[in-house]
Amino acid sequence: MNEPTVEKTETILDVEGMTCANCAIGVENQLKKLGADEIKVNFALGEASFIAPNSISADEIAKGITQIGYKSRIREHDIDEKQGLSSIEKKFWFSLIFTLPLITHMFLPHDSFIQNPILQAFLAFPVFILGVFHFGKSGLSSLRTGAPNMDVLIFIGSASAFFYSSWGAYTFYGTPLTHDFLFFETSASIVSLVLLGNLLEHRSITKTTSAIKDLSAMQVKTAMRFNSNGEPEEITYNAIQIGDLLLVNTGDVIPIDGIIMEGNGTIDESMVSGESIPLNKEKGDKVVGSTILTDGNIIVKAEAIGRNTVLSKIIDLVKNAQQDKPEIQRLGDRISAIFVPIVLGISLTTFLLSKFGFDLSTQQSMLQAIAVLVISCPCAMGLATPTAVMVGIGRAAKKGILIKGGSTLEELAKTKTIIFDKTGTLTTGKFTIKSLNVIDGNEQEIIDVLFNIEGRSAHPIAKSIVENLKEKAKAIALSDIEEVKGIGLSATDEMGNNWKVGSYRMASELTDDKLHEVYILKNHKLVATLDIEDEIKPIAKEMIAELTHQGIEIILLSGDKQSKCDDLAQTLNIQTIFAEQLPEEKLAKVQEYSSKGNTVMVGDGVNDAPALARANVGISFGDATDVSINTAQVVLLGTNGIDKLTEALHLSRLTFKTIKQNLFWAFFYNVLAIPVAAFGFLSPIIATATMGLSDIVVIGNSILLKVKK
Widest CA span in the chain? 118
Alpha helix (H) residue ranges in 79-116 = 87-104
Nearest C-alpha neighbor of 42 from the set 61, 52, 28? 28
Catalytic (active-site) positions:
421
Q: What is the dihedral of CA 378, 381, 385, 386, to 10 degrees?
A: 40
H or E element in which residue 287 lies: strand 286-287
If one counts every other C-beta atom within 10 angstroms of the C-beta of residue 22, the result is 19
What is the spatial distance between Cα 544 and Cα 617, in angstroms, rounded to a whole number? 18
If one counts every other C-beta atom within 10 angstroms of the C-beta of residue 354, the result is 22
3-state class of 607 per DSSP?
A: helix
Tell me the Cα Rg of the chain.
33
What is the spatial distance between Cα 562 and Cα 577, in angstroms, rounded to a whole number? 9
C-alpha 345: how far from its chain's center?
Answer: 41
DSSP bridge pairs for 437: 529
What is the spatial distance between Cα 59 and Cα 412, in angstroms, rounded to a whole number? 42
What is the spatial distance between Cα 336 and Cα 667, in angstroms, rounded to a whole number? 10
Burial per residue of 435-472, b for 16 or more beta-carbon CB atoms within 10 angstroms, e otherwise: ebebeeeeeebbbbbbbbbbbebebbbbebbbebbeee
What is the spatial distance between Cα 513 and Cα 525, in angstroms, rounded to a whole number? 14
What is the spatial distance between Cα 525 and Cα 339, in angstroms, rounded to a whole number? 82
The total number of residues written for the chain in this structure: 709
Q: Which residues contact 500 (CB under 8 A, 6 or more apart)?
A: 488, 489, 490, 506, 519, 520, 521, 524
What is the DSSP secondary-structure string of 521-586? EETTEEEEEEEEEEEEPTTHHHHHHHHHHTT-EEEEE-SS-HHHHHHHHHHHT--EEE-S--HHHH
What is the spatial distance between Cα 264 and Cα 153, in angstroms, rounded to a whole number? 66
